[in-house]
């Protein structure tokens, strides 16, 4: 046997390999209906749009989300986890091939005159020089190594889907925070209108009291309502500042400044089509991550079952050895070795069986977790569809409420100025209009937030095959019935 045999033996070992023990992964049937019955009426096929926030048609929102996707700390951490998982996967791939190590050494030793036996021709000093290549490789007959590689590859995919989930979450948080900010801007605009209205009312009351047409009590009531409006404005300014700070943290820009926006002018995204397919949620990053956890657990069964079978390890080395460095590669200095070792489990008192049972139980847990993730996603989509539909429907009566409350305030002021009504009637009308306009803002914001929730629940929203422009808010919802 010569050193030429070693490469041939290694090649034969690489070619060996039986069927991997353990079950091959088969995706379970999806326990969901085919469509979402709650989807609104429309007609178009659907697809996931990774840039779903652009459907709101707000350039400032687009810039904030893009900034967050580049600078958000959570997302950068997730990217680092993916890089770590990729490195682990490369390491697992390398296990499928033999590792070749180089060895070199030099030594000098002296024998004892008391114990050593040697002739006068032999020196007490002995020199040795060596250089060799060695390898050790497990012949993966039963697929133990390959199943382990399946586990690592599934974990890599899971980490990538986890990054996508963080990306979706960050985009949703930024969009939600921005909509909250627009809601506060709308409330601040309402507060400014309220202050002006209350100041005008106070001036009217003072004129009537000075003319003896109203009691001094009306002045105190008018000044009290004015002070209340001023306090509300201060609180709204505080909340807006905190909302900007939250966006600054999400976008990774501590010095972020955002000018006041207009909630009512923000376009609404397209309505989801009728018969929205339920399989859209299977593309959600968290759903795909849960499935990869199931794949990894399933591969773990094969890794555990391989413990029932013997392991074969091929070892070999080739090199040279001599006393003098000059003779290290001379004729006759060559050395080689080739060996095959077998490890056969004989009696482990149920350890392997216990490991197999653990792996099977982990697989059942992973399947339940995947099914639960799917069902949770399905429920979130249905909830968001209902919220989107009902909040959209509520905007029409809310607009009518604002209109009628405005007319009631105008009538109350006219009657008070003519002396036919008490100032309490004016205060009540002001409160009703303020509540109506505030509720209108809440409804619009809830409708937009429902759209964000639907985009997130679908893993990125939908994109009609036929491009649809953003739906502008109805005129009724933007009508201003009067100043509070």
Could you read off the pLDDT of 369-388 as tens digits, one per residue?
999 999 898 899 889 889 98
Assess if residue 248 is contained within a domain. yes
- The reply to whether 392 falls in a domain is yes
**What's the structural domain count of the chain?**
1
Residue 200: the pLDDT is 86
- CA 295 to chain centroid, in Å, comes to 20
Taking residues 455-471, report their average pLDDT. 58
The Cα 468–Cα 326 span in angstroms is 82
pLDDT digits (tens, 9 = 90+) for 464-482: 443 333 333 333 333 333 3
pLDDT for the residue numbered 480: 34
- CA triplet 409, 414, 418: central angle to 5 degrees? 145
Q: What is the pLDDT of the chain when averaged over all its residues? A: 81
The answer to whether the beta carbons of residues 468 and 270 sit under 8 Å apart is: yes
- What does the pLDDT read at residue 465? 44
Compute the distance between CA of residue 201 and CA of residue 210 in angstroms, rounded to an integer: 14
Q: Is 6's pLDDT higher than 50?
A: no
Mean pLDDT of 354-374: 93
More confident residue, 443 or 343: 443
For tokens 């009540």, name the residue.
428
Q: Which residue has the higher pLDDT, 118 or 97?
A: 97
DSSP letter, residue 471? B
Give the global pTM. Answer: 0.77
Mean pLDDT of 97-115: 78
Per the domain annotation, does 182 fall within a domain?
yes
Checking if the pLDDT of 238 tops 50, the result is yes
| pLDDT score of 121 more than 60 | no
- Of the candidates 378, 374, 463, which has an alpha carbon nearest to the alpha carbon of residue 48? 463
DSSP of 20-38: PSSPPP-PPPP-S-SEETT
Residue 69 CB neighbour total at 10 angstroms: 16
Residue at 341 is within a domain: no
Contact yes or no for 312/139 (Cβ under 8 A): yes
Does residue 318 sit within a domain?
Answer: no
- Average pLDDT over every residue of 39-61: 68
115 within domain boundaries: no
Cβ neighbors of 270 (< 8 A, separation 6 or more) are 42, 55, 462, 464, 468, 469, 470, 471
| 327 domain residue, yes or no | no
Q: Per residue in 203-237, pLDDT tens?
A: 888 888 888 888 889 888 888 988 988 999 999 99
Q: How far apart are CA 272 and CA 41, in angstroms?
A: 8
By residue range, what is the domain housing residue 55?
24-97+142-311+360-478
Q: What is the DSSP letter of 139?
A: E
Contact 475, 399 (CB under 8 A): no
Maximum Cα–Cα distance for the chain, whole Å?
141
Buried-state track 411-424, b at ≥16 Cβ within 10 A, e below 16: ebbeebeeeebbbe
- Return the CATH number at 447: 1.20.1600.10
The 10 Å Cβ neighbour count of residue 379 is 12
Kindly state whether residue 370 falls inside one of the protein's structural domains: yes
Q: Which of 254-268, 295-309, 383-397 has the least mean pLDDT?
A: 254-268
Mean pLDDT of all residues in 293-315 = 89
Distance (Å) of CA 206 to CA 193, 424, 434, 453, 483 = 20, 15, 23, 50, 20
pLDDT over 70 (residue 93): yes
Is the confidence at residue 404, as pLDDT, over 90? yes
Cα separation, 134 vs 217, whole angstroms: 102
């Amino acid at each position: 046997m010569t050193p030429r045999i070693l490469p041939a033996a290694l090649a034969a070992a690489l070619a060996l390999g039986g069927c991997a023990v353990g079950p091959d992964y088969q995706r379970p049937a999806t326990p969901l209906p085919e469509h979402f019955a709650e989807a609104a009426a429309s007609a178009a096929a659907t697809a996931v749009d990774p840039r779903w926030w652009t459907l709101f048609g707000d350039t400032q929102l687009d810039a904030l989300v893009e900034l967050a996707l580049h600078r958000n700390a959570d997302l950068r951490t997730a990217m680092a986890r993916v890089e770590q998982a990729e490195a682990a996967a490369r390491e697992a791939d390398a296990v499928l091939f033999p590792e070749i190590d180089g060895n070199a050494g030099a030594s000098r030793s002296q024998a004892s005159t008391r114990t050593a036996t040697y002739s006068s021709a032999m020196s007490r000093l002995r020199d040795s020089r060596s250089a060799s290549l060695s390898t050790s490789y497990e012949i993966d007959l039963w697929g133990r190594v390959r199943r382990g590689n399946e586990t690592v590859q599934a974990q890599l995919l899971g980490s990538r889907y986890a990054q996508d989930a963080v990306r979706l979450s960050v985009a949703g948080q930024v969009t939600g925070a921005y909509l909250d900010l627009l809601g506060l801007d709308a409330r601040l605009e309402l507060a400014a209108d309220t202050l002006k209205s209350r100041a005008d009312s106070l001036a009217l009351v003072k004129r009537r009291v000075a003319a003896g047409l109203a009691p001094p009590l009306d002045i105190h009531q008018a000044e009290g309502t004015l002070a209340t409006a001023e306090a509300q404005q201060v609180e709204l300014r505080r909340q807006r500042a905190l909302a900007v700070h939250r966006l600054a943290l999400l976008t990774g820009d501590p010095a972020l400044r955002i000018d006041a926006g207009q909630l009512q002018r923000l376009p609404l995204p397209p309505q989801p089509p009728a018969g929205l397919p339920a399989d859209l949620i299977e593309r959600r990053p968290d759903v795909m991550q849960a499935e990869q956890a199931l794949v990894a657990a399933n591969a773990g069964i094969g890794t555990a079952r391989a413990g029932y079978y013997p392991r074969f390890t091929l070892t070999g080395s080739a090199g040279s050895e001599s006393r003098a460095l000059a003779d290290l590669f001379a004729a006759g200095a060559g050395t080689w070795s080739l060996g095959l070792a077998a490890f056969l489990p004989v009696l482990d008192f149920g350890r392997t069986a216990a490991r197999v049972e653990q792996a099977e139980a982990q697989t059942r847990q992973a399947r339940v977790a995947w099914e639960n993730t799917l069902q949770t996603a399905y429920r979130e989509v249905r909830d968001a569809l209902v919220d989107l539909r009902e909040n959209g429907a509520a905007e029409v009566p809310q607009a009518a409420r604002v209109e009628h409350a405005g007319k009631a305030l105008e009538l109350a002021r006219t009657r008070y100025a003519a002396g036919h009504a008490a100032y309490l009637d004016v205060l009540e009308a002001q409160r009703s209009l303020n509540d109506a306009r505030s509720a209108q803002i809440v409804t619009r914001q809830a409708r937009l937030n429902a759209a964000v929730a639907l985009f997130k629940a679908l893993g990125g929203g939908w994109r009609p095959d036929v491009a649809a422009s953003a739906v502008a808010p109805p005129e009724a919802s933007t009508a201003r019935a009067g100043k509070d």
